[in-house]
Amino acid sequence: MGKLYNAIFSAGVAFVLACLMIGVKLNTDGTTLQVTGASTEQWAWIIGGIALVFFSQIFADQIDTAFGKIPKPTVSHFLPEGDKMAQLKPWLMAGVFVCMVIWPFMVSRGSVDLATLALIYIMLGLGLNIVVGLAGLLDLGYVAFYAVGAYTYALLSQYFDMSFWICLPISAGMAALFGFILGFPVLRLRGDYLAIVTLGFGEIIRILLNNWTAVTGGPNGISGIDKPALFGLEFTRRSKDGATLFHEYFGIDYSSSYKVIFLYLIAVVLVAFVIFVINRLMRMPIGRAWEALREDEIACRSLGLNRTAIKLSAFTIGASTAGFAGSFFAARQGFISPESFTFIESAIILAIVVLGGMGSQIGVILAAIIMTILPELAREFSEYRMLLFGLTMVLMMRWRPQGLVPMKRPVLELK
Amino acid sequence: MSETILYLIQQLINGLTIGSTYALIAIGYTMVYGIIGMINFAHGEIYMIGSYITFIVIAGLLGMGMVSLPLILFIALVISVLIASTYGWTIERVAYRPLRGTNRLIPLISAIGMSIFLQNFVVLSQGSRDVALPPMISGGWTFGDPSLFEVSFSYMQLFIWVATFVTMLGLTLFISRSRMGRACRACSEDIGMTNLLGVDTNRVIATTFIIGAALAAIAGLLLSLYYGVANPFIGFMAGLKAFTAAVLGGIGSIPGAVLGGLILGVTEALTAAYFPSEYKDVVAFSLLILILLFRPSGLLGKPEVEKV
Amino acid sequence: MSQLLLDVNGLTMQFGGLVAVNKVNLTVKNRQIVSVIGPNGAGKTTVFNCLSGFYIPTAGSVMFKGKEIAGMKDFQISRQGLVRTFQHVRLFSNMTVIENMLVAQHRHLNTGLLAGLFKTPSYRRLEQEAMDRAIFWLKEVDLLDSANRESGNLSYGQQRRLEIARCMVTQPELLMLDEPAAGLNPNETKELDELIIKLRDEHEISILLIEHDMGLVMGISDHIYVIAQGTPLADGNADDIKNNPDVIKAYLGES
């Protein structure tokens, strides 16, 4: 009986939630505001939703057991065991890398472009994974460091005509510096305070970029940012200032897809570099200390670990990865504005980390690919993208907080 | 009186008006935090939904030809409080309760997901453009020297002050007099112990979310009448501001939230008066960061003792 | 005269108006097992928190190896060679046993970023040494077989032992144990007993112990301090304490 009461109650709640917000629509007609009732179709949806809530409450137990029965695959199920894996791993990595390099020459320009975008999100996801997944610091203003990286390159390129390759490390360094300056005071704060402060910081950076018109161009942003060059060879159709052009140097016809492929390849190299560095870091004392701090801060202190220094290093390294991605983003787009660096962007990167599995590198990479490619495949659902992101975060936390591909503990050889 | 002083008085009036609505939203943060020790990240969205419902109800009633302003406002208030409270309750049930007792990061992320979900839910159901309503309560008093600067204090502002005051009074009475209020106070001291004493703490937590949501809906009503516009994105900023107010006053303390809201409102109004108005948000966030750094327990909060 | 390892004088800790610890004096010599006992709420753990730097004492001095450590930060104190365990075990429960042991040695390792990225010889050597020490101590507490298990999955007794091993691997001179026998069965308590004595006799460290289990305390302590309501009540060896009327009164209540 209790169950039926529960179900009726939940259905009632669902009705209250939906009746005005979906059932009635506001229209502005000239200066007057009007309401119109939803179409029959929409009401059918509402009633369907209420029915769904009703029955899901009635069958709550069965649904829960059914969920429990769904196997939770881990990557290790698909891979050979232990020693064999250790032998295979370098080959596998090399194979993936080679495929990544050859692949763009066989597909359309659009696909390559999309893949480049996915690679940017992989970089961002991996960087945030250090901060959130490993060190357990919820950073909601991560996009600020991405913005710092992007603007550093854009400004240096615009005002000082510096090349992408010089700016890349400078951007990462600038982002790291910002991370350090912000991190130093705020890292002793408790988890949720930290989340809000970083969120506020992200907004401050965006507002400053928006209003410091003289330097950043304000809401109009910065356009005409130079694209990266290959050892001084540029990928434009005509030379601006007498620089050698890629297609002239090799004596081939100009094609804009060279540039796209070149950008993609840069992204592949950058991602490979980031993966290598983070992989090492995770197995270094500092990486272990990050995780230990996430697990128990008091125990860390009692063992002589300086928590401020350790948190700061996670924050700074995470920030520099975002700066790295940011300068590449600026170079790829050729145009940046504060619009690209809103809180939504931070939320998407966080969703990538959460979906993939906090701390899990493979998980984050997969999630970044899914999150960038899925909305493209299902264009008609693109307006539902953020709605689904939010929903995914709620559902994942409830049923699978460890993510799609949970982090695996390293097995250390005892000798 | 000189022009400068009149100008300052005007900013104070404006600041206290906005500040009192921050205070209403901030109470939701502070009460939830006081009891479960967590930030309700989706709280700003409740305020936004409250605004939308106010718009829908008012536009609907006007469309039906109702003319009595007090009646319209009353119906709008009742419906928006009712629906927003339901949203508050649902947030607790869906995003918080199943996750109680897990790592702190997990409910926080779930609530952020909830916030994104609600924002986009409104974008999809009501569109992302501004909805606007002509002023409902117009007119006011002016004083000062017309040749220098005239200070205006509108009826709308008075309405906001009075409404906020009455709401606060009601809340205070509820917390100090009612059974549920006593249970709330007990829970914020020690939730585990309160549970052992036979109080249904689940109900207390749910009530806290509902009260917070109701107050946010009232703020939504007041501000949508004051500004006359709303869009699905107002909840994010308002939530951040109100959180700042809660922290400023000392999170967990209800009088603190009120004080923090008023101080923040006035600070913003003064910033906007003397600097480009875009920087008022920067000032608010900088204030937040400074407080957390130098006085994390806020103006009226209790300092936390770390338990080993 | 042999120097005192730990010399606490007039240690006082006040929370607002409440005096949790009142003028406690305490000394620990090299290779000594010293216990602090007292009824529940006597302020024993507060004493520990003051010594290990989690609280900054209101008054009094704490000399460790002849150096004032009161007011130092917690992580600085543990670097001096004074390490503690907790009443409720605090492990890095999602990390493996061996990782717990390696984290504890953080400050003995080469934590330079570049050294680790390029795996320099000095980095490798220090990592290997840390590994060796970790393995040594895991053997001592009989946990080597579980080295790659997640520490949260160990049994309670194993978790207790791991916590001690994790302290020992930092090479302390004074180990402070906060109710190490709490929740252990008699058999495990006996093993713990042997381990503590072994730490003193073979590894030549001193141990400061808070304990409720009188049997354990009486059997192994070289010196016992009794505090009640934050105030020192008595001190002496096991026999002195057993026969002290004040102590009996404090434990059994006024009669």
Query: What whole-number percentage of chain A has pLDDT above 70?
Result: 91
| CATH number of the domain within which C48 lies | 3.40.50.300
The number of domains in chain B is 1
Cβ B268 vs Cβ B280: under 8 Å: yes
Question: CB A390 to CB B87 under 8 A?
Answer: no
Q: Nearest-CA distance from C36 to chain B in Å?
A: 18
Mutate to test the interface with C, among A297, A303, A412 (most CBs of C within 10 A): A303
Mark whether C135 and C192 lie in a shared domain. no
Mark whether C43 and C97 lie in a shared domain. no
Decide if A130 is inside a domain. Answer: yes
Decide if B176 is inside a domain. Answer: yes
Chain B hits for A186, CB-CB cut-off 8 Å, are 289, 292-293
ipTM passes above 0.85: yes
Cβ B29 vs Cβ B246: under 8 Å: yes
Cβ C32 vs Cβ C40: under 8 Å: no
User: pLDDT tens-digit profile of B241-264?
Assistant: 898 898 888 888 888 899 999 999
Res A125 pLDDT > 90: yes
> Looking at chain A, which residue has its C-alpha nearest residue C77?
A304
Res C89 pLDDT > 70: yes
Instruction: Give the model's pLDDT for residue A243.
Output: 66
Which residue range forms the structural domain that includes residue B217?
A: 3-294
Judged by average pLDDT, the poorest of A117-121, A171-175, A251-255, B51-55 is A251-255
Chain A hits for C110, CB-CB cut-off 8 Å, are 285
> Looking at chain B, which residue has its C-alpha nearest residue A192?
B39
User: pLDDT tens-digit profile of A1-55?
Assistant: 677 888 888 888 888 888 888 878 887 776 777 777 777 888 888 888 888 888 8
Mark whether A272 and A377 lie in a shared domain. yes
Mark whether A165 and A304 lie in a shared domain. yes
Chains touching A by CB (3 or more pairs below 8 Å): B, C
Judged by average pLDDT, the poorest of A24-28, A341-345, B4-8, C82-86 is A24-28
Tell me phi and psi for residue A388, to 5 degrees: -70, -35
Which of C171, C203, C224 is the C-terminal boundary of a domain? Answer: C171
Instruction: Give the model's pLDDT for residue A83.
Output: 61
Mark whether C254 and C216 lie in a shared domain. yes
CA distance B169 to C82: 54
User: pLDDT tens-digit profile of B75-112?
Assistant: 999 999 999 999 999 999 888 888 887 777 888 889 88
Q: How many CB pairs below 8 Å do chains B and C form together?
A: 6
Tell me phi and psi for residue C64, to 5 degrees: -120, 120
State the pLDDT confidence band at B118, using cuts at 50, 70 and 90: very high
Decide if B304 is inside a domain. Answer: no
Res A141 pLDDT > 50: yes
User: pLDDT tens-digit profile of C48-72?
Assistant: 888 888 888 888 888 888 888 888 8
Decide if A411 is inside a domain. Answer: no
Which residue range forms the structural domain that includes residue C166?
A: 89-171
User: pLDDT tens-digit profile of A301-324?
Assistant: 888 888 888 899 999 999 999 999
Decide if A86 is inside a domain. Answer: no
Chains touching C by CB (3 or more pairs below 8 Å): A, B
In A331-390, the residues whose Cβ lies within 8 Å of chain C are: none
Mark whether A111 and A160 lie in a shared domain. yes
The number of domains in chain A is 2
Query: What whole-number percentage of chain A has pLDDT above 90?
Result: 19
Decide if A185 is inside a domain. Answer: yes
Residues 6+ apart with CB under 8 A from A267: A115, A116, A119, A120, A123, A328, A332
Mutate to test the interface with A, among C90, C91, C120, C171 (most CBs of A within 10 A): C90
Mark whether A53 and A101 lie in a shared domain. no
Q: Nearest-CA distance from C39 to chain A in Å?
A: 25
Which of C171, C187, C212 is the C-terminal boundary of a domain? Answer: C171
Average pLDDT, rounded, for chain A: 83
The angle at the Cα of B135, spanning B130 to B140, to the nearest 5 degrees, equals 140
User: pLDDT tens-digit profile of B159-214?
Assistant: 999 999 999 999 988 888 888 888 888 888 788 888 888 888 888 899 999 999 99
Which of C141, C171, C201 is the C-terminal boundary of a domain? Answer: C171
Q: Nearest-CA distance from B133 to chain A in Å?
A: 6
**If you average pLDDT over residues A240-258, what whole number do you get?**
70
Mark whether A206 and A123 lie in a shared domain. yes
Decide if B273 is inside a domain. Answer: yes
Mark whether C64 and C138 lie in a shared domain. no
Judged by average pLDDT, the poorest of A181-185, A407-411, C131-135 is A407-411
pTM of this prediction?
0.85
Instruction: Give the model's pLDDT for residue A82.
Output: 57
Mark whether C24 and C62 lie in a shared domain. yes
Mark whether C182 and C213 lie in a shared domain. yes
User: pLDDT tens-digit profile of C220-229?
Assistant: 888 888 888 8
Chain A hits for C113, CB-CB cut-off 8 Å, are 281, 284, 286
Beta-carbon count within 10 A of B260 CB: 33
Question: CB A191 to CB B105 under 8 A?
Answer: yes
User: pLDDT tens-digit profile of B285-302?
Assistant: 888 888 887 887 778 777
Decide if B82 is inside a domain. Answer: yes
Instruction: Give the model's pLDDT for residue C1.
Output: 40
Q: Nearest-CA distance from B146 to chain A in Å?
A: 32
| CATH number of the domain within which A205 lies | 1.10.3470
Q: Nearest-CA distance from C214 to chain A in Å?
A: 26
CA distance A8 to C164: 55
Mark whether C132 and C249 lie in a shared domain. no
Select from A26, A389, A398 the Cβ nearest to the Cβ of B126.
A26
Residues facing residue C224 across a β-bridge: C35, C236
Kindly state whether B305 is in contact with chain C, defined as any CB-CB distance less than 8 angstroms. yes
Cβ B257 vs Cβ B249: under 8 Å: yes
| CATH number of the domain within which B62 lies | 1.10.3470
Selection from C176, C149, C148, C145 nearest residue C163 by Cα: C176
**If you average pLDDT over residues A341-361, what whole number do you get?**
87
Mark whether C2 and C70 lie in a shared domain. yes
Question: CB A25 to CB B244 under 8 A?
Answer: no
> Looking at chain A, which residue has its C-alpha nearest residue B243?
A196
Beta-carbon count within 10 A of C5 CB: 23
Q: Of A189 and B54, which is predicted with more confidence?
A: B54
Kindly state whether B144 is in contact with chain A, defined as any CB-CB distance less than 8 angstroms. no
The number of domains in chain C is 2
Token pair for A413: 């050889």
Neighbour-count burial of B93, counting CB atoms closer than 10 A to its CB (0-12 exposed, 13-18 middle, 19+ buried): middle
Decide if A83 is inside a domain. Answer: no
State the pLDDT confidence band at C252, using cuts at 50, 70 and 90: low
Mark whether C109 and C50 lie in a shared domain. no
Select from A281, A296, A307 the Cβ nearest to the Cβ of C92.
A296
Select from C84, C117, C127 the Cβ nearest to the Cβ of A302.
C84
Mark whether A116 and A33 lie in a shared domain. no
Select from A277, A292, A411 the Cβ nearest to the Cβ of C95.
A292
Helix (H, G, I), strand (E, B) or coil at A171: helix
Which residue range forms the structural domain that includes residue A374?
A: 96-229+255-399
Instruction: Give the model's pLDDT for residue C255.
Output: 45
**If you average pLDDT over residues A51-71, what whole number do you get?**
77
Mark whether C102 and C150 lie in a shared domain. yes
Judged by average pLDDT, the poorest of A243-247, A277-281, B274-278, C50-54 is A243-247
Mutate to test the interface with A, among B45, B75, B110 (most CBs of A within 10 A): B110
Question: CB B308 to CB C15 under 8 A?
Answer: no
Res A230 pLDDT > 80: no
Decide if B308 is inside a domain. Answer: no
Mark whether A377 and A280 lie in a shared domain. yes
Res C24 pLDDT > 90: no
Mark whether A23 and A156 lie in a shared domain. no
Decide if A85 is inside a domain. Answer: no
